[in-house]
Amino acid sequence: MTIAKGRALVTGGAGFLGSHLCERLLSDGYSVICVDNYYSSTKENIAHLLDNPRFEVIRHDVTFPLYIEVDEIYHLACPASPIHYQRDPVQTTKTAVHGSINMLGLAKRTGAKILLTSTSEIYGDPLVHPQTEDYWGNVNPIGPRACYDEGKRAAETLFFDYHRQHNLKIKVVRLFNTYGPRMHPNDGRVVSNFVVSALTGKPITIYGEGRQTRSFCYVDDLINGLIAMMNSADEVTGPINLGNPGEFTIAELAAEVIKQTGVNPGIEYLPLPPDDPTRRQPDITRAKQTLGWEPTIELESGLAKTIEYFRGVLTN
Ligand code: UDP
């Protein structure tokens, strides 16, 4: 039997990452409060946790204040895939900014430690490669991705100002592309799109020529990084990059999906969306040195687990 630990709040707890984090915190002995408004998440993601007496769910939008008692706050809430965050861009900025102000206010009142899942998007279309945390980024402030990029940049600013001004214990991590079971099949993300296309026999949609790169981190590795960051010494504020440095072109990813699914439905080339970053790869030296963290799951094996998950979802 696990010994009861503190009370952890996970905002966005019914999302792809949030649900894995809730599951992990429960198995580590925490009492977990999951807050979500289901804008880009589903109740199915957390259905298997509802019987646990240490798990509680609140339907709540973080752009409104929240008054509860907690010891640790994992602030994940925000639509994160381009199609979701661009659907209602004003709401995306509000979620990033007002949501952070409200959760920082909660941390201030309760004395809780608070972790922000920021993003590699704050580097924009990076002029430095791989991206280190001291790179300030190359973001178009008025483009279609700005609601998310600038929203998260403002959230980082708020976290560091609350830290300097009010002494809050903050932890800021910048997440690079993450994939795995419970990604939304219609999320629009490249991994889910390619796998779902192959499994349903529809052409794989490559935007542009597929020469742009991303570095894909399997969800279990990422969750280990979030836990390591929350449990790091109080002086460790970040920002710290969390991601897998293995860099692939989108065309290479398509080839791997075709190989592993054993289905080649053909490729359809579509226009590259505006401001789509050309290259992205995390420098994780800081995470290794400060947290002793690095990913262990290669794309090949992570993709195999993801394909297995989507096979299950699509046949049920
Ligand atoms: N992409 C693609 N086909 C798709 C979905 C995405 O070629 O069906 C490309 C997209 O243009 C981008 C990369 O894959 O260059 C990653 O896109 P995703 O939406 O997964 O994440 P992000 O752009 O936020 O890294």
Would 86 be classed as within a structural domain? yes
Q: What's the per-residue H, E or C state across 53-92?
A: CCEEEEECCCCCCCCCCCCEEEECCCCCCHHHHCCCHHHH
Nearest residue to 101 via CA among 8, 168, 189, 34 = 168
CA distance linking residue 174 with residue 226, whole number of Å = 10
Supply the CATH number for residue 225's domain: 3.40.50.720
Would 193 be classed as within a structural domain? no
Q: What is the pLDDT of residue 125?
A: 94
Would 197 be classed as within a structural domain? no
The tens digit of pLDDT for each residue in 118-147 reads 999 999 999 999 999 999 999 999 999 999
Counting residues of the chain whose pLDDT is more than 70, the rounded percentage is 99
Would 266 be classed as within a structural domain? no
Would 72 be classed as within a structural domain? yes
Active site residue 148: yes
Q: List the structure tokens of 60.
A: 């709540």
Q: What is the pLDDT of residue 4?
A: 60
Would 52 be classed as within a structural domain? yes
Q: Rg of the chain's alpha carbons, rounded to an integer?
A: 19
Q: Which residue from 248, 250, 257, 267 has its CB within 8 A of the most atoms of ligand 1, so it is best to mutate? A: 250
Secondary structure class of 131 (helix, strand, coil):
strand
Q: What is the pLDDT of residue 154?
A: 98
The tens digit of pLDDT for each residue in 205-237 reads 999 999 999 999 999 999 999 999 999 999 999
CB contact at 8 A, 35 and 10: yes
- Exposure of 254 by Cβ count < 10 A (0-12 exposed, 13-18 middle, 19+ buried)? buried
Q: Which listed residue (85, 148, 162, 179) is catalytic?
A: 148
Mean pLDDT of the chain: 96
- CA angle 231-234-239, nearest 5°? 80
Q: List the structure tokens of 274.
A: 């505006």
The tens digit of pLDDT for each residue in 55-113 reads 999 999 999 999 999 999 999 999 999 999 999 999 999 999 999 999 999 999 999 99
Would 263 be classed as within a structural domain? no
- Exposure of 11 by Cβ count < 10 A (0-12 exposed, 13-18 middle, 19+ buried)? buried
Which residue type occupies 247?
E
Inter-CA distances, 85 with 11, 40, 149, Å? 16, 9, 10
Establish whether residue 207 lines the binding site of ligand 1, counting it when its CB lies within 6 angstroms of any ligand atom. Answer: yes
- What beta strand segments (E) does 109-184 contain? 113-119, 170-175, 178-179
Inter-CA distances, 12 with 18, 41, 45, 265, Å? 6, 8, 11, 34
Establish whether residue 189 lines the binding site of ligand 1, counting it when its CB lies within 6 angstroms of any ligand atom. Answer: yes
The structural domain count of the chain equals 1
* In the predicted structure, residue 6 carries a pLDDT above the cut 60: yes
CB contact at 8 A, 36 and 59: yes
Residue 75 has φ and ψ, to the nearest 5°, of -95, 95
CA distance linking residue 135 with residue 128, whole number of Å = 7
Q: What is the pLDDT of residue 2?
A: 47
**From the alpha carbon of 207, which atom of ligand 1 is closest?**
7
CB contact at 8 A, 232 and 171: yes
The tens digit of pLDDT for each residue in 162-208 reads 999 999 999 999 999 999 999 999 889 999 999 999 999 999 999 99
* In the predicted structure, residue 3 carries a pLDDT above the cut 60: no
SS3 content of the chain, % helix, strand, coil (to 5): 40, 20, 40
* 299-315 vs 250-261: helix crossing angle, rounded to 10: 60
Q: What is the pLDDT of residue 25?
A: 98
| Distance between Cα 312 and ligand 1 center (Å) | 23
Residue range of the domain that includes 139: 7-183+217-243+281-295
Would 13 be classed as within a structural domain? yes
The closest residue, in CA terms, to atom 20 on ligand 1 is 189
Which residue type occupies 112?
A
Q: How confident is the model at residue 284 (pLDDT cuts 50, 70, 90)?
A: very high
